[in-house]
Structure 1
Amino acid sequence: MRVCYAAQLLSGTVSSLMKSRGGEEMKMSAWFAGLMNKWFDLMNTRLNYSYNPDLKPYTTIDDPRLKWLNTFLSELKQWKSSLTGSVSEQSKQFLSHQTYDGLVSTSMAIAELVKFLLENSPEGSYVLTKRLNQDPLEAYFGHMRQTGRRNEVPNIHQYAQFENVIMCKKNIKSLKGSNVNHVIDWKHGDVCDDPMPKRKK
């Protein structure tokens, strides 16, 4: 499921609809939808927050929303501890372990990151969690795994070798759209233009 569809399904509107028309059978589903709706809002704070106070930028380390993230994790743990039956039955009554671990690590990381950024920034600064992005980091480790080929669990020495390979590739990579080859002058460590232009296909 795409994140945008999950955010639409686990929204405040859906939660309110479940509470008003679902009755007792939909009580827990409505609770979970409302819980995740608030969590999504705290992960997407922005400047144009409209009338939703949960979307306001973080401006202080004492923001109650950061403390709510601990409450969020406590409620998930309480839900998990209340499950009954066999292990297979419990797995059907709760989130997958990947989803649960992801929610825990993300919530804790965001809370600490926001506090760190605000503590080490000038007065009047704010944090927009909507702007946080881990795609470059994922791309880097993906490139690292690709360099290791079948070796998916490199040791520290192999990791250093893969890092050197990636750095060398960056240094000798030609620029897209240029009509000259850029080469390394290894003697002086400079990048110079190859006098022989590329042939256009």
Structure 2
Amino acid sequence: MTLHSPHLGEQVHHRALHEDNENWFDMHDTSFGGTGQKAPIADVDDGRLLWLENDFTCYVKKVQASSVASGNGAFTGETFEALLFTTKSTVETTRYLLTQGINYVLTRKPKQRPIEAVFGRVRYMCGGNDMLDARAVDGCFGPNCKIQVRKAT
């Protein structure tokens, strides 16, 4: 390998991006072998949370900005926002649980399907309506789950 390659800077950039991607996917345990990031988080100031919140988020924003500026393969708007949203929600959810007395948190594979199933059932009970209002949801939940929605005063 020659150290005078005109593409060396680009190779280093791609390597750093690859390592960051490995760490992010490993923390979220999405079918990746692993780099040791899966240990439980027991401290609100855990280095992995700080890395996600600061380093990774800033790096992704820089990659997006430089990709847009150069016209080369930027994330789609939806992917970019989803990546930032997932990262931020992982950090905030973990910190919230730790401050509420949970001893440790595993950030792997957050379960969203039960929540989606509840909303799917509500939509189904309301005739497949995707534009639900509070009254329709109350009508579905009230009799089935014994949940009362407080009326705004």
State the distance in 1 between where 2:76 and 2:144 align: 35
State the distance in 1 between where 2:74 and 2:127 align: 36
Is the deviation greater in 22-31 or in 112-121?
A: 22-31
Aligned match of 2:149: none
Pairing of 1:38-187 with structure 2 (within 5 A): 38-44=23-29, 52-70=35-53, 71-82=55-66, 83-84=68-69, 90=71, 93-121=73-101, 125-130=103-108, 132-164=110-142, 166-167=144-145
State the distance in 2 between where 1:52 and 1:76 align: 20
The TM-score with structure 2 as length reference comes to 0.72
Residue 84 of structure 1: SS of its match in structure 2? helix
How far is 1:66 from its partner? 0.5
Computed over aligned residues only, the root mean square deviation of the Cα atoms, in angstroms, reads 2.7
Q: Which stretches in structure 2 are left out of the alignment for 5+ residues?
A: 1-6, 147-153
Letter in 2 for 1:138: E
Q: 2:15 aligns with which of 30, 42, 49?
A: 30
How far is 1:142 from its partner? 1.7
In terms of fraction of residues, the more strand-rich structure is 1
How far is 1:31 from its partner? 3.3
Letter in 2 for 1:74: C
State the distance in 1 between where 2:125 and 2:17 align: 41
For 1:71-124, what per-residue CA distance to the aligned partner results, in whole angstroms no more than 9, with x for missing partners? 211111122222226xxxx5x6112222222211111111111111112226xx
Would the alpha carbon gap of residues 42 and 155 (structure 1) be closer, same or farther in structure 2, given more than 3 Å must change?
same
For 1:21-75, what per-residue CA distance to the aligned partner results, in whole angstroms no more than 9, with x for missing partners? x96665544333222110012223xxxxxx9442221011110110111221111
Would the alpha carbon gap of residues 23 and 121 (structure 1) be closer, same or farther in structure 2, given more than 3 Å must change?
same
The TM-score with structure 1 as length reference comes to 0.56
Aligned residues: 134
How far is 1:130 from its partner? 2.2
How far is 1:145 from its partner? 2.1
